[in-house]
Amino acid sequence: MSAARTQAILWLVQRATAALLAVFVVIHIATMIHAVRTGLDAASLLARVHASIAWPAFYGAFVIVAALHAAIGLRTVAAEWLSWRGTGADATIALVGLALAAAGLRAVVAVSA
């Protein structure tokens, strides 16, 4: 795949993940506001998460989208600010993205198990 095609795909994925993150953040904040206004405590929230597959799935997707968005953004910053490009930079950034996803998914599993 050509470098221009790769850049175009990454640009599109960055914009798509930004749009998805906007939706995830609005749902997350609305849920937190609802929880506070209705007086739910941490134990009640955890009980609801444990009783549902939807919330772990939601937050799992949120983590994956955020990790992908962050990795692409870091790749761009590394290229523009540090002039760090090429296979080594791409591999390092990919590892950072995977580490972010793994840490986030570990937290989702810990909260939902």
Digit-coded pLDDT (tens) for 53-78: 999 999 999 999 999 999 999 999 99
Calculate mean pLDDT across residues 19-32.
97
CA atoms within a 13 Å half-sphere pointing along the CA-CB vector of 109: 6
pLDDT at 113 over 90: no
Residue 4: inside a domain: no
Query: pTM for this structure?
Result: 0.91
pLDDT at 3 over 90: no
The predicted pLDDT at position 101 comes to 98
CA atoms within a 13 Å half-sphere pointing along the CA-CB vector of 81: 6
Spatial distance between the Cα atoms of 102 and 95, rounded to a whole number of angstroms? 10
Q: Are 108 and 56 in contact (CB under 8 A)?
A: yes
C-alpha angle with apex 13: 103 to 104, nearest 5 degrees?
A: 10
How many independent structural domains does the chain possess? 1
Residue 7: inside a domain: no
Minimal CA–CA distance to 74: which of 59, 93, 47, 87? 93
Residue 80: inside a domain: yes
The residue segments making up the domain with residue 57 are 15-112
Residue 83: inside a domain: yes
pLDDT at 1 over 90: no
Residue 36: inside a domain: yes
